[in-house]
Structure 1
Amino acid sequence: MARTLTQQLPHDVALGAPRGLVSGGAPLLLQRADGDFIDAVLDEITSVEGRAKLLASRAAARTQRQVLKLFQPIQRQHHLAVLEAWCDTPGTPRVDPARVASAGLVVRRVRRAGGAAEEGWMRSRGRLRGWLPVQRIGGAARDPASQLRLHSGQTGVADIDHELVQLALQREDTLLDEHVVPMFVAPPEVCKAAGKTLYYGLVPTVSGELAETAPVFDEANTFGPESADFRNHLVQALRGEAMDFPLDGESLNPAWTEAAELATTVRPTGVSIDHWNQLRPGGGARTGMQRLLRLLRQLDGEFNAFAGTSPASQALRQQLAAIALPLKLRDGETVARTVSAEAFLRQAAQVLVQRDEQAARPEMPTRWPALPSHQAQALRLALSRAVAERFAQLNPAPGRFDDPAAQYVVRAFVRLKPECGCPARIVWSEATEPFVIAPWFEGSGAPPVRISLPDITEPGLLRSLKPNVSFTVPPALQNLLSGNPKDLMEGKKPPDGGITIGWICSFSLPVITLCAFIVLSIFLSLFDLIFKWMAFIKICIPFPKKGE
């Protein structure tokens, strides 16, 4: 059907940073530390002087590699995306806000392996799916809302459209929804004074959301069982190499751990003089015992070899059970004795790592034999699968901004209402410059939070510092704290018995803060001998005392 002369075709809409401030088709990213920063931004953008001030607050912090850096709210910095919409026609007039149904922005993660690619934070059917490639929703320019994508491009014939929708719903990605932050149009008086149709939205840099999908352990495929990094981090025995055991033929003693690891000249309780001479600093068995402890801790902690019930843990135990460790020949013995590595290491972990006084104390073998190449390879494969499973257990849900090295971009959009017989459509801005999110502990340049400490010389101060916080102390902890402080500092276990009832202990929170400050100052000075950090992390300046 031909259009009459009175009909007007809808023209294109352009999006980008407010013209006159910066050029480009991406939103303008601002960094603000003022309290009511939204009202301040809207006020500044209406005047020439204000726009100069606004431009000075453009996000500009960078890493050492010159990557743009945004901060978190805990660092007392907020980031605002500002966008202008104008008609892409001669004269480029501003868009009538009545034409816009909604506006929003998305924060996308940028993947650069094999070329830049964007990922969106997605959810589907009530599940938080996490970061997924935007190609899963049809590309970077498709609508982030699944229902709007689902019903776009319909034929207008009810039966056909119904069948098309049912067919689309059979695909897994059809109902993926990308997280959208709403953008708001500036008040009419602001748009009129600025001569622009402006939108603004808060850029999120922190999130408590956790994806329901498990993270990938070795996403870059650089930590496989035969990789140099994986092999080098293993103790010699787990690499399949021969390794001698210390104090062979002796029954394991939980006190050996303390003797081998503490730099003390005092023989620990429970260690014989002969064993102490071998395990003390400079002793011939000290290095071997420390190596055995690393082996036990790797198996027990990293690989969950002994307590795990999963197929990966069971497969690892089978590999260890196939390794025979020779035992020392006793007087009169002529037939060699062996013990399976799985049985010995499991019991040794209870005695030496868990320090269980009641556990059975196995005999120390003489050595771990060098394994044939096929057996060593099978052991490393089992270890690799076990640590991947351990990683999934300890990292069940990746957070939205957990990756400190990840880079992100912001894209904004407006949804235009149907007009002139044409359907509704979405218009996207360009992506911003890639940025990283600063870790929470990094300084942002904002003024520090000031905490006033009590003046301990002030008369009557102690009477005013009433207890205002309470701790519920279980009997075992109270029994530990009520013992001899010297024994506690030396790591000696308190005697059994004593206190058998719980306690509620109340303290003054200002006094706790004061004690923490004093202890912090002492330890900062001690650690400064190692890290030489005092000039960077502590600044003290005098100030005059206020008059009475």
Structure 2
Amino acid sequence: MARTLTQLPHDVALGAPRGVAPGGAPLLLQRSDGDFIDAVLDEITSTEGRARLLATRAAARTQRQVLKLFQPIQRQHHLAVLEAWCDTPGTPRLDPARVESAGLVVRRVRRAGSATEEGWMRSRGRLRGWLPVQRIGGASNDPASQLRLHSGRTGVADIDHELMQLALQREDTLLDEHVVPMFVAPPDVCKAAGKTVYYGLVPTVSGEQAETAPVFDEANTFGPESADFRHHLVQALRGEAMDFPLDGETLNPVWTEAAEIATTVRPNGLSTEHWNRLHPGGGSRSSMQRFLRLLRQLDSEFNAFAGNSAAAQALRQQLAAIALPLKLREGETVARTVNAETFLRQAVQVLVQRDEQVARPEMPVRWPALPGHQASALRLALSRALTERFAQLNLAPGRFDDAGAQYVVRAFVRLKPECGCPARIVWSEATEPFVIAPWFEGSGAPPVRIDLPDITAPGLLASLKPNVSFAVPAALQNLLGGNPKDLMEGKKPPEGGITIGWICSFSLPAITICAFIVLSIFLGLLNLIFSWLAFIKICIPYPKKGD
């Protein structure tokens, strides 16, 4: 029997609560009150309350006038509020009984003003991270994979089975976008407000990390031949000639201390001749510092000698093909060389790792200028090693780790099947793009108060009993128990000394007082450079409380 026109389901509209704010996107609120959900539900029921509600609309902006939301650590919370109504004459409010579920998604937009959106996805037990919403069929498709699969059924079992098998062969079929549930306001609230109101918390922080590898050079601006990459490298790694300091001498671990620490006392184990060349103002100091930078780049940034990957091995092969000339000794006529890989590996052990047990090589005369093709091959190997190093140290990109990213919120309701028609999903418009403020930025909320003890109070010292303990290894105790001047100059403690560990107990309030005093001193000193006291420190008097 054919359905009459009145039996057909009508459209449903979503948007900011009418009478509070215009638009088809959820209303984003910024609240710092403790029981803000109950407060919002109370305010929406009256005209005066709705005016107060609108005053808490998220309104903070960056210098570029981009909307800014805050994190919970900044004592601010954000709530998305939505109204659902029937898009028919009179626009009555939607009966909540027609709604199967409701939710919101936070999507990342690749460029401001662009329609390109990315959802936070997971699939087959893996967190896939940010992926374009086109991977799930578009911005208005259902975020749940199982509901998308069942929405395409024909009603014929065999056909549906074959279609399901084909769909499951596609990588993106089981992608699920992260959804934050939205809740319908209690019936008495909806009745008093004359609206069907939904609300949900907008997440601005997350501990989730994607299982996909991070992209090192997403914008393709730091390749091996880019100006930024080349200028970052020390001269030798760019393929340019570079003279070495103290050529012909046997490497000495003390060289690092002499060249980098601003001391006026010759370190133990360093000859007067070498000290005169490496101390502040010495002729070889800057070249030694440049040489140490070469070693640290290879060791730390490119993992040239500790890695066993294909990229690390390829880099070592490039270094091994470079011959470093050694200084001719008295009576020698045949030039001697050492390959760069062998020498630099040993130099890292001696000068960077300060290993006094390894063999100490002879310092070559220079790093030669490389032919163009060899220099390019070296930079390519360095670039690949750096890309691999980045992946090793950045295994899991977090959901909101990109400080400059912009996001939008979209909300939806899933309507139950009605009038013989299947269930369907209805989406709101997207909010304006927003950024998430970094954790250290002030949000305008009152600061957290910490009461410090009154150091003049009678009996205070006796009351500050140790309430926190530190287990101190013997080596650290020897370091702390040595000459403070030697500690400031970075000198190692003498051999021997204490060989047992210690447990040291302190009063946490006393530690706090010391930290506050030291902080105040250094803030004053650094204010000469940054002029920041007017912004980061506010002190106001308050009256003494009565006894």
SS in 2 for 1:376: helix
Tell me which residue corresponds to 1:352: 351
Number of residue pairs matched?
A: 547
Tell me which residue corresponds to 1:487: 486
Determine the C-alpha separation between the residues in 1 that align with 2:260 and 2:485.
20
For each residue in 1:331-361, what CA deviation from the matched residue of structure 2 results, as whole angstroms up to 9, or x when unmatched? 1110001111111111111111111222221
1:19 equivalent in alignment to 2:36: no
For each residue in 1:71-118, what CA deviation from the matched residue of structure 2 results, as whole angstroms up to 9, or x when unmatched? 000000000000000111111110000000000000001012995410
Tell me which residue corresponds to 2:132: 133
Alignment of 1:69-148 (within 5 A): 69-112=68-111, 115-148=114-147
SS in 2 for 1:151: helix
Tell me which residue corresponds to 2:3: 3
For each residue in 1:55-82, what CA deviation from the matched residue of structure 2 results, as whole angstroms up to 9, or x when unmatched? 1110011111111100000000000000
Tell me which residue corresponds to 1:473: 472
Alignment of 1:417-436 (within 5 A): 417-436=416-435
1:298 equivalent in alignment to 2:292: no
SS in 1 for 2:151: coil
Tell me which residue corresponds to 2:326: 327
Paired letter, 1:334: T
Tell me which residue corresponds to 2:527: 528
Tell me which residue corresponds to 1:36: 35
Tell me which residue corresponds to 1:238: 237
Which 5+ residue runs of structure 1 have no aligned equivalent?
Answer: none
1:212 equivalent in alignment to 2:195: no
Determine the C-alpha separation between the residues in 1 that align with 2:530 and 2:270.
36
Determine the C-alpha separation between the residues in 2 that align with 1:516 and 1:324.
53
Determine the C-alpha separation between the residues in 1 that align with 2:423 and 2:454.
67
How far has the Cα of 1:476 moved from its partner?
2.1
Tell me which residue corresponds to 1:339: 338
Which 5+ residue runs of structure 2 have no aligned equivalent?
Answer: none
How far has the Cα of 1:4 moved from its partner?
4.0
Paired letter, 1:176: L
Tell me which residue corresponds to 1:379: 378
How far has the Cα of 1:521 moved from its partner?
1.1
1:451 equivalent in alignment to 2:450: yes
- The answer as to whether partners of 2:263 and 2:489 remain within 8 angstroms in 1 is no
Deviates more, 1:470-479 or 1:122-131: 470-479
Tell me which residue corresponds to 2:438: 439
How far has the Cα of 1:480 moved from its partner?
2.3
Determine the C-alpha separation between the residues in 1 that align with 2:521 and 2:308.
46
SS in 2 for 1:409: strand
Determine the C-alpha separation between the residues in 2 that align with 1:113 and 1:185.
31
Alignment of 1:183-222 (within 5 A): 183-222=182-221
Determine the C-alpha separation between the residues in 1 that align with 2:9 and 2:526.
68
Determine the C-alpha separation between the residues in 2 that align with 1:318 and 1:4.
80
TM-score normalised according to structure 2 size: 0.98
Report % sequence identity: 88
Relative to structure 1, the CA distance from residue 535 to residue 113 in structure 2 (aligned partners, 3 Å threshold; closer, same or farther) is closer
1:399 equivalent in alignment to 2:398: yes
SS in 1 for 2:514: helix
Determine the C-alpha separation between the residues in 1 that align with 2:372 and 2:68.
48
For each residue in 1:119-149, what CA deviation from the matched residue of structure 2 results, as whole angstroms up to 9, or x when unmatched? 0000011110111110000000000000000
Tell me which residue corresponds to 2:53: 54
SS in 2 for 1:251: coil
Deviates more, 1:480-489 or 1:420-429: 480-489
Tell me which residue corresponds to 1:410: 409
For each residue in 1:294-340, what CA deviation from the matched residue of structure 2 results, as whole angstroms up to 9, or x when unmatched? 11111111000011111100100000000001011111110001111
Determine the C-alpha separation between the residues in 1 that align with 2:382 and 2:228.
14
- The answer as to whether partners of 2:15 and 2:24 remain within 8 angstroms in 1 is yes
Paired letter, 1:80: L
Paired letter, 2:536: I
- The answer as to whether partners of 2:69 and 2:437 remain within 8 angstroms in 1 is yes
- The answer as to whether partners of 2:14 and 2:84 remain within 8 angstroms in 1 is yes
Deviates more, 1:210-219 or 1:523-532: 523-532
Paired letter, 2:109: V
Determine the C-alpha separation between the residues in 1 that align with 2:529 and 2:298.
32
Paired letter, 1:144: P
Determine the C-alpha separation between the residues in 1 that align with 2:264 and 2:498.
33
